[in-house]
Amino acid sequence: MGRFIVRRLLYMIVVILVVSFITFGLMHAIPGGPFSREKALPAETIRILNERYHLDELLWKQYVSYVYAVLIPHVTTTPPTTSLQDDFMVNAQIGSVWFRWMNFGPSFKSRSRTVNDIFRDNLPISAQLGTMALIIAIVIGLPLGILAALKQNTVWDYLGMGLAIFGVSVPVIVLGPIFVWVFGVALKWFPPVGWGAQPPYILGFLPSNIGWDFFKYAIMPSIALGLGSSAVIARLTRATLLQTVREDYIRTARAKGLPERAIIVRHALKNSMIPVVTILGPLFAALVTGTFVTELMFGIPGMGKYFVTSITNRDYPVIMGTILLYAVFLVVANLLVDITYAFLDPRIRYD
């Protein structure tokens, strides 16, 4: 297991490097730069700006220094400054030595902020939305799938599978406007747009005001985003559970007189969770990218706006930062999924 994790971590670094390389290449291949305007800036201004942000250097040098600034931990004795060029995500002081890591650089568009500032202010909000949606997906999807399988061909089954088809057929951009109008405008149950989380965030993303103030904003977007995923989970849970309850060991458990509840919970459910855990990786990816639309739809000040506008603005550091961040999320999620397998199914060995 240990060796497997080390190997996967190395592989992760390779993936991140490839992703950063492709993004960097594509980004610079797009015509126009961060300082092109409708009305062209004076050549001298552009030259100074390029020099300041090191855009006048050779592309490979820019790439290498970017990777150096972001990936390689810096160990120095100089304390952090307030310079925008010098904003690291991790600043740990051990004795007189500073351990500093992940400098994504300054944003070209919002001059007074760094990419790390954007991460610090806006990422927690996207994380709150994503987490709520994931919770909703699991809380609705899992019980519905189990119910549908245990009461196959009853009303519950049809209800569950009806919702499953509904969930996969109605994406956020459909559900979003309908929710906003029905529950926000017509019924006035929830505020149609906005976000109510208040900093400081506990553990980096949990709002300090968990309560109605927070949930009245969060409920609609989270359901709109999570419903599709809950459908996927419900279908898969039902399908695997139906297969599992026909296995021999379930018959054995019944034969030795275990109560039905114990059979389902201890034997059937645990073993049907493996495919469900598999799907959590891709599901997480869908939720992460889904947060973009949801945020635009419900006017939530998360990362979505920055990602879309950074590309049109050629805000190189923001593009690189957001894509790398999401890539890291996805690979880490997949790694966690693989590790969870091993716990759920001891037959799976990774050496």
Partner 1 sequence: MAQVKPESKTFGGSGGMPLTQKRGSLFRDAFGRLIKNRAAVLGGSLIILIILMAVFAPLIAIKSYEVQVLVDQNVVPEWITKVFPTMKPYARISNDYPLGADYVGRDLFSRILYGARVSLAVAFIGPLISLIIGVIYGSISGYFGGRVDNIMMRIVDILYAFPSLLFIILMLAFFRSTITHIQPGTPAYALSKLDEAMGGLFFIFVGIGLTAWETMARLTRGQVLSIREKEFVEAAHTIGASNLRIMFRHILPNILGPLIVTETLAIPGYISTEAFLSFIGLGVNPPTPSWGAMISDGATAIRSYPNQTILPALALAITMFAFNFLGDGLRDALDPRLRGTQ
Binding residues for partner 1, rule: CB under 8 A, are 14-15, 18-19, 22-23, 26-27, 29-32, 161, 165, 168-171, 173-174, 176-178, 180-181, 184-186, 192, 235-236, 238-239, 242, 285, 288-289, 292-293, 296-297, 307-308, 311-312, 319, 323, 326-327, 330-331, 334
Token pair listed for 295: 């945020």
Cα separation, 34 vs 54, in Å, equals 13
- DSSP three-state, residue 349: coil
| Closer residue to partner 1, CB minimum distance, 143 or 299 | 299
Least distance to partner 1, CB of residue 241, Å:
11
| Closer residue to partner 1, CB minimum distance, 160 or 207 | 160
| Closer residue to partner 1, CB minimum distance, 40 or 165 | 165
Least distance to partner 1, CB of residue 76, Å:
32
Gyration radius (Cα) of the chain, Å: 24
Least distance to partner 1, CB of residue 316, Å:
12
| Closer residue to partner 1, CB minimum distance, 125 or 224 | 224
| Closer residue to partner 1, CB minimum distance, 171 or 196 | 171
Token pair listed for 56: 């006048």
Residue identified by tokens 């994406």 is 171
Least distance to partner 1, CB of residue 99, Å:
28
Render 188-252 in DSSP notation, one character per residue: -SS-SS-----SSPBTTTB-TTTTHHHHHHHHHHHHHHHHHHHHHHHHHHHHHHHHHTTSHHHHH
The kind and range of the H/E element at 8 are helix 2-29
Token pair listed for 47: 């030259």
| Closer residue to partner 1, CB minimum distance, 88 or 292 | 292
Least distance to partner 1, CB of residue 94, Å:
33
Adjacent-strand bridge partners of 101: 90
Token pair listed for 76: 């120095």
Least distance to partner 1, CB of residue 209, Å:
26
